[in-house]
């Protein structure tokens, strides 16, 4: 004899069915809230990175929300006897959980951190001032807002309860579950590969969503010969983030004096034409001069600030020490370049080629303009630095440095110009306060580090090492341009990348 279900079993079955539909509705709401995390993070610049982000969005948010239902709501469906209590409890849990998620999204948008014990102090500091200014009215607004949100959850829970039999007829449970499960598994599978390959467009998304712990399998892969752990750790040491969000420039106040009666001319060539002999000056020549700027505007920024173009966006509202310090101490400063050349950092300093005076002159000129500019009698007894090698097409190129100064060493880059000029003018403040370059009158390093686009460039002992942001690298001979099979100096690379980013601050 087939016995009908007991009233309690019928009630439990209906509550469980209601719970699944209620969870699905809140997954949809959570997905909308989670878009704040997506828009607060840098967009992936590859198709695979975007695909992973979509899989991770659906998979992780769906899993996280449904897990909350399984842990907090589902047990109540079997324990409680009154559906009203279940609906109130489920609505309260959903309201609190989604409110915390929304608050976490706002915190992430503002600071880049999620709610956690490690961010507790940050959260306290961020909120202390605003909360201390809250009056009774503001607290009432927050209370009313939560009551409205709680009311919405109760209305949603009751609407689903009344229509649960009708909703069950749609039979979408299996397709929906399969979709979210596929997204969840696919996102973790892709991340396992990305972690092994140190694929930055995916690795950079590790902290995008709260409570996210993407899968890795380095040990297992190495056990089956699919991953060389030593090589992996080597590449991992060379990882860097090409997106610098905040900088401390200069890192320390620059206190020094300059000889305001001295005249010094710094010229950076902006084309690849041969530079005619400049007979009126006794200039020494440095052959190994490297320029890495990917554009003319990057060349101007790199020269004036003494830092690589990786800092270009974050320094756009800063004043370079090379210009601000002499001006502040009463030295006339002029920057000369074609009227058609763009630059956002030259406001107040840009002067026509005809302008001459004692003090500091910085020119970004073509080969023909350099020859004409230096023929002015006012520069006859001045110190001269001429840097060549920049290619308007961008990239890493070898040029020459011509100067009347007593420079030392045999390797230089664009970043060395600012500290060399300031030291020649009499400022002996440490170059590390405002530049990643060094003073060529008294160099302390036999290697240099710069960037070109998203590549880190390290030069040492006639070798140029190009490192991508994912840790992959290529070594070439600076003279022959041929690829070198020499082993990578990991200690040098790690030190160079640390030196390169010492102006950056945590977001």
Residue 200 counted as domain residue:
yes
What is the torsion angle, in degrees rounded to the nearest 10, for the CA atoms of residue 405, residue 410, residue 411 and residue 412? 0
Q: In this predicted structure, what is the pLDDT of residue 357? A: 87
CB atoms inside a 10 Å sphere around CB 472: 12
Domain that holds residue 93: 7-227
For residue 317, give both structure tokens: 């509202």
Q: Are residues 201 and 269 in the same domain?
A: no
Question: Which conformational region is residue 442 in: left (phi greater than 0), alpha (psi within -120 to 50 degrees), or beta?
Answer: beta
pLDDT band at 454 (very low <50, low <70, confident <90, very high): confident
Q: In this predicted structure, what is the pLDDT of residue 417? A: 97
CB atoms inside a 10 Å sphere around CB 137: 7
Q: Are residues 180 and 272 in the same domain?
A: no
Q: Are residues 103 and 191 in the same domain?
A: yes
Q: Are residues 409 and 278 in the same domain?
A: yes
For residue 399, CA distances in Å to 281, 284, 414, 462 come to 19, 14, 10, 14
Q: Are residues 178 and 278 in the same domain?
A: no
Euclidean distance between CA atoms 222 and 236, whole angstroms: 15
For residue 364, give both structure tokens: 């970004």
Euclidean distance between CA atoms 51 and 183, whole angstroms: 10
Q: Are residues 20 and 92 in the same domain?
A: yes
Q: Are residues 350 and 297 in the same domain?
A: yes
Euclidean distance between CA atoms 355 and 333, whole angstroms: 11
Residue range 315-337: average pLDDT? 91
pLDDT digits (tens, 9 = 90+) for 239-269: 555 555 567 889 889 999 999 999 999 999 9
pLDDT band at 440 (very low <50, low <70, confident <90, very high): very high
User: Which residue among 445, 462, 493 closes a domain?
Assistant: 445
Q: In this predicted structure, what is the pLDDT of residue 405? A: 94
Euclidean distance between CA atoms 303 and 401, whole angstroms: 13
Cβ contact 18:52 at 8 Å: no
Residue range 421-450: average pLDDT? 93
pLDDT band at 234 (very low <50, low <70, confident <90, very high): low
For residue 144, give both structure tokens: 């009313």
Euclidean distance between CA atoms 480 and 462, whole angstroms: 10
Residue range 129-142: average pLDDT? 64
User: Angle at the Cα of 470 (from 220 to 453), degrees rounded to 5?
Assistant: 175
Residue 368 counted as domain residue:
yes
pTM of the entire structure?
0.58
Residue 325 counted as domain residue:
yes
Cβ contact 323:417 at 8 Å: no
Range of lowest pLDDT (149-153, 202-206, 207-211, 284-288):
202-206
Residue 1 counted as domain residue:
no
Euclidean distance between CA atoms 72 and 92, whole angstroms: 11
Task: Please tell me which of 102-116, 420-434, 443-457 the model is most confident about, judged by mean pLDDT.
Answer: 420-434
For residue 135, give both structure tokens: 């009056």
Cβ contact 248:503 at 8 Å: yes
Q: Are residues 199 and 332 in the same domain?
A: no
Q: Rounded mean pLDDT of the chain?
A: 83
CB atoms inside a 10 Å sphere around CB 13: 13
pLDDT band at 1 (very low <50, low <70, confident <90, very high): very low
Q: How many Å from the N-terminal Cα to the C-terminal Cα in the chain?
A: 69
Q: In this predicted structure, what is the pLDDT of residue 290? A: 93
The CB-based long-range contact list for 470-476 (8 Å cut-off, 24+ gap) reads 470/197, 470/198, 470/199, 470/200, 470/203, 470/235, 470/239, 471/198, 471/234, 471/235, 471/236, 471/237, 471/238, 471/239, 472/198, 472/235, 473/238
pLDDT digits (tens, 9 = 90+) for 55-66: 999 999 999 999
Looking at the DSSP bridge assignments, the partners of residue 360 are 264, 333
State the residue for tokens 């040098």.
492
Task: Give me the CATH number covering residue 318.
Answer: 3.40.720.10
The residue among 80 and 173 whose pLDDT is bigger is 173
Q: In this predicted structure, what is the pLDDT of residue 506? A: 45
**What backbone phi and psi angles, to 5 degrees, belong to 450?**
-150, -175
The residue among 134 and 189 whose pLDDT is bigger is 189
State the residue for tokens 């664009």.
414
Cβ contact 439:419 at 8 Å: yes
Q: In this predicted structure, what is the pLDDT of residue 342? A: 58
In 306-431, alpha helices (H): 321-328, 367-373, 417-424
pLDDT digits (tens, 9 = 90+) for 371-402: 888 888 888 889 999 999 999 888 889 999 99
Euclidean distance between CA atoms 90 and 13, whole angstroms: 16
For residue 487, give both structure tokens: 């082993």
User: Which residue among 401, 423, 445 closes a domain?
Assistant: 445
Q: Are residues 185 and 306 in the same domain?
A: no
For residue 76, give both structure tokens: 């109540």
Instruction: Please state, for a pLDDT cut of 70, what percent of the chain lies above it.
Output: 83
Q: Are residues 279 and 178 in the same domain?
A: no
Cβ contact 114:108 at 8 Å: yes
Q: Are residues 190 and 130 in the same domain?
A: yes
Q: Are residues 156 and 39 in the same domain?
A: yes
Residue 209 counted as domain residue:
yes
Q: Is the pLDDT of residue 461 over 60?
A: yes
Residue 233 counted as domain residue:
no
Residue 472 counted as domain residue:
no
CB atoms inside a 10 Å sphere around CB 306: 28
For residue 164, CA distances in Å to 94, 160, 229 come to 18, 6, 53
Range of lowest pLDDT (177-191, 341-355, 356-370):
341-355
Domains in the chain: how many in total? 2
User: Which residue among 445, 471, 488 closes a domain?
Assistant: 445
Euclidean distance between CA atoms 202 and 198, whole angstroms: 8
Residue 483 counted as domain residue:
no
Q: In this predicted structure, what is the pLDDT of residue 317? A: 82
């Amino acid at each position: 004899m087939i016995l009908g279900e007991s009233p309690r079993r019928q009630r439990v079955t209906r509550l469980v069915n209601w719970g699944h539909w209620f969870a699905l509705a809140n997954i949809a709401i959570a997905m909308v809230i989670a878009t704040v995390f997506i828009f607060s993070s840098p967009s992936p610049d590859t198709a695979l990175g975007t695909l992973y982000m979509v899989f991770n969005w659906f998979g992780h948010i769906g899993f996280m929300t449904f897990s909350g239902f399984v842990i907090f709501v589902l047990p109540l469906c079997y324990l409680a006897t009154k559906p009203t209590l279940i609906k109130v409890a489920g609505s309260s849990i959903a309201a609190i959980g989604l409110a915390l998620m929304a608050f976490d999204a706002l915190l992430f948008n503002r600071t880049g951190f999620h709610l956690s014990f490690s961010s507790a102090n940050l959260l306290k500091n961020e909120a202390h001032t605003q909360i201390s200014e809250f009056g009774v009215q503001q607290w009432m607004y927050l209370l009313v807002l939560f009551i409205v949100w709680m009311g919405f959850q109760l209305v949603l829970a009751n609407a689903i309860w009344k229509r649960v039999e009708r909703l069950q007829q749609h039979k979408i449970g299996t397709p929906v579950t399969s979709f979210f499960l596929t997204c969840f598994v696919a996102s973790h599978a892709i991340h396992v590969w990305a972690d092994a390959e140190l694929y930055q467009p995916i690795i950079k998304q590790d902290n995008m969503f709260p409570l996210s712990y993407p899968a890795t399998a380095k040990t297992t892969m190495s056990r089956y010969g699919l991953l060389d752990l030593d090589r992996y750790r080597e590449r991992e040491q060379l990882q860097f983030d090409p997106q610098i969000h905040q900088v401390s420039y200069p890192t320390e106040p620059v206190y020094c004096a300059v000889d305001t009666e001295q005249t010094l001319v710094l010229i950076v060539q902006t084309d690849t034409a041969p530079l005619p002999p400049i007979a009126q000056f006794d200039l020494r020549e440095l052959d190994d001069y490297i320029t890495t700027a990917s554009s003319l505007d990057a060349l101007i920024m790199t020269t004036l600030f003494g830092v690589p173009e990786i800092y270009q966006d974050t320094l756009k509202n800063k004043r370079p020490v090379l210009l601000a310090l002499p001006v502040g101490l009463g030295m006339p400063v002029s920057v000369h370049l074609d009227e058609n050349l763009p630059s956002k950092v030259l406001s107040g300093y840009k002067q026509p080629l005809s302008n001459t005076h004692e003090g500091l002159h910085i020119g970004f000129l073509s080969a023909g303009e350099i020859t004409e500019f230096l023929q002015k009698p006012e520069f006859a007894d001045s110190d001269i630095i001429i840097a060549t090698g920049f290619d308007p097409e961008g990239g890493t190129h070898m040029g020459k440095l011509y100067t009347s100064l007593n420079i030392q060493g045999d390797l230089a880059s664009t970043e060395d110009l600012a500290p060399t000029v300031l030291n020649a003018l009499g400022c002996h403040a440490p170059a590390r306060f405002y530049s990643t370059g060094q003073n060529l009158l008294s160099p302390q390093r036999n290697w240099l580090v710069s960037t070109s686009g998203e590549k880190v460039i390290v030069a040492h002992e006639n070798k140029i090492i190009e490192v991508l942001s994912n840790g992959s690298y290529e070594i070439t001979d600076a003279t022959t341009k041929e690829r070198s099979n020499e082993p990578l100096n990991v200690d040098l690379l790690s030190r160079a990348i640390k030196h390169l980013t010492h102006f950056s601050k945590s977001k």
